[in-house]
Structure 1
Amino acid sequence: MAVFRNRFSQVFLIKKKPLLTVCTVFAASFVVTAILLTLFLNYQHAATNLPIDLKSQIKDFTFVQILFKNLIVALILVSGFFLIKIPTILVLIANAAVLAFILTANIYTTGAWLYFILLVSIHGVAELTALFIAANIGFQKINLAKKQQRKQLLNRMLLVAALLALAAFLETCVTPLFWR
């Protein structure tokens, strides 16, 4: 296992400390947004147990639109490695807040927490993995003058693009099959 881990790290240069930072920032932003939104909805006495009608509310996006949007987000996350990590941190916080808002609002109003978590998980696992890898790049110091690090950066960007293509495919072709 250690051989695989070392080889994977050499090819893709995914480091543990930046990855833990990415996960911490994302999780903290998600939890804070979910708690604040729940408190707000409780304070406003928002309606609960509403029927789920996602098909009429969701705007249909094509594979290309979703892939392009996610690639732009990934590029902004990566840009942190030469822009003092600021765009990486801001995009992580924003994405976590949006995801928390969507899930919390839907779960609070419908009570169907398992349904929404499974629905988002269909494509979200691949998408979040890709975005976390891109953010990992944004938190590292990469010397583009070194051929080895340029190659590792290219490998990671190809991995991110492949994962985002998979996520876009799942979001457009598989996730809608499970909408109620």
Structure 2
Amino acid sequence: MVCNRCITAVQNELIKLDLHPIYVQMGIVKLMEEKLDEQKLQTLNERLNALGFELLDNGKTRLIEQIKSLIIEKIFHSEFLESKVNWSGLISDKVFHEYNYLSSLFSSVEGITIEQYIIRQKIERVKELLFYDELNLGEIANKLGYSSIAHLSAQFKKVTGQTPSQFKNTRASDRLRRSIDAV
């Protein structure tokens, strides 16, 4: 789940199935029910699939999805990131496991480190903010907790192969409309 509408949609499906959610967060659902019978579990899975979600029953897969959801929530839905986010502490506190274990598990399944995943998500957020053209690069760097514009630009270029300015100019030219005669 990546947005409040997603959370609401999942919560509504749970209630329609006469289940009692204690809380629904991105990637996590806690029910009052201890265990679901096979029929209810299958029905829930079908309804979630119809909404574009999947039911994760493998504990390790759930841990990885919790980590991803936490990172996405923090990067995409926070007003500002602190410049020194203690990601290891934050993740281990929210997921209730030692960070070394989570880091090793994440890397073995995803093929990248948690830090690389965080960087990629931050760059995706930078792209989004550049596309909407509401903030300048300094404001974006500040919003996402970069120590400087140079640091953001270096990371952006390393991940995308372009500077933020090149990306923005490319996006601007993509938005220009062609005349009918030019087709």
TM-score, normalised with respect to structure 2:
0.27
Higher RCO by CA contacts (8 Å cutoff, separation 6 or greater) = 1
Which structure has the highest strand share of the two? Answer: 2
TM-score, normalised with respect to structure 1:
0.27
